[in-house]
A and B are shown apart, each in its own frame.
Chain A
Amino acid sequence: MSSPQRVSSNLQNPVTPDLDWQTLDRVLAGDASAADEDHVRAWVGASPDRRLMVESLLRRNGSLASVDVDRAWQSVASRTVSAPHVDRKWTIGWVAAAGVVIAVGSFISARMLRTSAQQVQIPTSWHELSSPLGKRTIVTLPDSTRVVLNAESSLRYSSMFGERTREVFLTGEAYFTVRADSARPFRVRANNAEIQDVGTRFMVRAYDAAHGTLVVVDEGAVGIASAGSLGHDTVVVTPGVLARMSPSGAVTTMATNATKYVGFANGLLATSGLTLSEAVPVIERWYDVKIYVADPMLGRRPLARDFHDEPLSNVLNALGALLDADVRRSGRLVTISPRSNN
């Protein structure tokens, strides 16, 4: 005894009985028998809607177009197989044996390691300065160079700093006002980059090896090169130029407004000209919050203003008004969603 509906369905498609979902699933998963495929082919042939659905599902591409596996491998390799095996105690004290390569943790690249091996550094102790999430920290180095460390950034230098050279290792973002001293060049190592300067003001951003290293100069000039190549492959960076070294060591430059990059040193949270998605990591770091943008369309909206080290609540209110969005905060989590109409 069949229902009236079932009867009418059979009348509409007398030749092709309905397909169970398992058969369609096997075909979509590429796990189908020849019989399954015949079955689906017959089913699809009976209606354009079915064909459209199955064809779009088969053609659906869930891959991320932007993935660069080579670059990603370089980045992972530098943290794993190419990373030096080091006694972790080095951060707090002396490395005992002479001739030991002083390893600088996770941000050393294979290339830098080779360089330091050639130089055979002598045992030394390290100083580390860091600025946590949500804070900017101003430090003065032994040579009276002034450094503004942005949130979630750290700077290391050895006890030999200033004896013949002045060399610091940066993870994160920092603005340097370097005390001029042409006899002892000031060098910043960040990711796979080495940046040299004699006396100037500049910013280095190196939060994440995969995103490369950015350099913007406020005054004077600096040279940037792959670690170990300073002197022969150096690109000179002057004010108004943004230089980026890719993880593979290539340097590209473009004109920029320096304020956008160096403003943090003076408490400027520069978000104008960024889309919301681009601004999210900047704001997250500045205030130590996590921001979830509920709608991708919202993420593409441009922000038309900067903030001057204002309380988080001001920034969130302003974002709500700028984007006509609902901004809700619960502890350290901020959710930005399209304004509901009711």
Chain B
Amino acid sequence: MFMGPNELSSIDQNDRIQRGDSAAFERLFRSHYDALCSFAVRYTDSAAIAEELVQDVFARVWTDRSRWPAPQNQRAYLFTAVRNRALNVGRRRQLEDDWIEAETALAHEEDESADALSAAAMDSEPHIFLERAVASLPERCRLVMHLRWHESMSYADIAAVMGISTKGVENQLSRGLRALRRAFGVAH
């Protein structure tokens, strides 16, 4: 595989972190902190708890820096660590599991509830309308959509972070888009 300058510098950065270079660690922190908090808050519903959780993950990265993964996996590694930590926080684990169980069974009902949102709401506040349509989707579907469209992650990385197959990622995205199209009245 061709290696561009970015990959080279991230390999260099990787070595520096493993050697305990605090400036390299700070760069890593600054380049991912915001995105990881935006992801974590989807589990915690509290910005403060999300930040605390992401900071704990970085503190752990520093403590365990000798085990820091290969550069191409760093982002997925950080997101996975944040997700694991968020699930360990516990309160949401049960909910997410419930969603997995209920996803198939509820697929039709979700679509109907999206249909029920009023057309007037869509015209006046399309963004609020979108948020409501998104909110009516299962949590796992929302998380996959966030990682894909907000973080531009590959299917393989999303699969690794969420602990599902790449096929599962595709299913979530196609299901999500289908439901959103229905909600916006885009039948075709």
Contacts and interface: CB of A to CB of B under 8 A. Distances in A.
Interface of A: 9, 12-13, 18, 21, 24-25, 28-31, 47, 49-50, 52-53, 55-57, 59-60, 62-64, 66-67, 69, 72-73, 75-77, 79-82, 208, 210-211, 277, 290, 292-293, 296, 299, 333
A49 B186 CA distance: 6
B55 A66 contact: no
B13 interface: no
Contact of A12 (B29, B131, B188): B188
Interface in B135-158: 146, 148-150, 152-153
Nearest to A31: B152
Interface string B177-188: 110110011101
Nearest to B90: A290
A297 to B, nearest CB: 12
Interface residues on B, range: 35 or more
Interface of B is mostly: helix
A285 B50 CA distance: 18
A21 B152 contact: no
Contacts of A64: 34, 37-38, 41, 47, 50
Contacts of A79: 55, 59
Nearest to B142: A62
B149 A333 contact: no
16 contacts: A25-B173, A47-B186, A52-B126, A53-B180, A53-B181, A59-B127, A60-B131, A63-B34, A69-B33, A80-B22, A80-B58, A80-B59, A80-B63, A81-B22, A292-B91, A333-B91
Interface in B107-138: 122, 126-127, 129-131, 134
A57 B51 contact: no
B68 to A, nearest CB: 13
Contacts of B173: 21, 25
A29 B26 contact: no
B33 A28 contact: no
Find the residue from A12, A66, A211 having the highest chain B CB count within 10 A.
A66
Interface of A is mostly: helix
B77 interface: no
Contacts of A290: 90-91
Find the residue from A29, A79, A293 having the highest chain B CB count within 10 A.
A29
A90 B153 CA distance: 45
Given A52-B126, A62-B150, A64-B34, 4 more contacts: A29-B148, A52-B184, A72-B55, A210-B55
A288 to B, nearest CB: 14
A277 B30 CA distance: 28
A73 B30 contact: yes
A62 B59 contact: no
A53 B184 contact: yes
A55 to B, nearest CB: 7
A314 to B, nearest CB: 23
Find the residue from A53, A77, A82 having the highest chain B CB count within 10 A.
A53
Given A56-B129, A75-B55, A292-B91, A50 B149 contact: no
Contacts of A277: 46
Contacts of B180: 53, 57
A62 B122 CA distance: 20
Interface in B1-54: 22, 25-26, 29-30, 33-34, 37-38, 41, 45-48, 50-52, 54
Given A64-B41, A66-B47, A296-B45, A25 B148 contact: yes
B186 A210 contact: no
B99 interface: no
Find the residue from B30, B51, B152 having the highest chain A CB count within 10 A.
B51
A60 B33 contact: no
A63 B36 CA distance: 9
Given A25-B177, A64-B41, A13 B188 contact: yes
Find the residue from A25, A50, A296, A333 having the highest chain B CB count within 10 A.
A25
Contacts of B92: 292
Contact of B34 (A9, A28, A69, A210): A69
Contacts of A296: 45
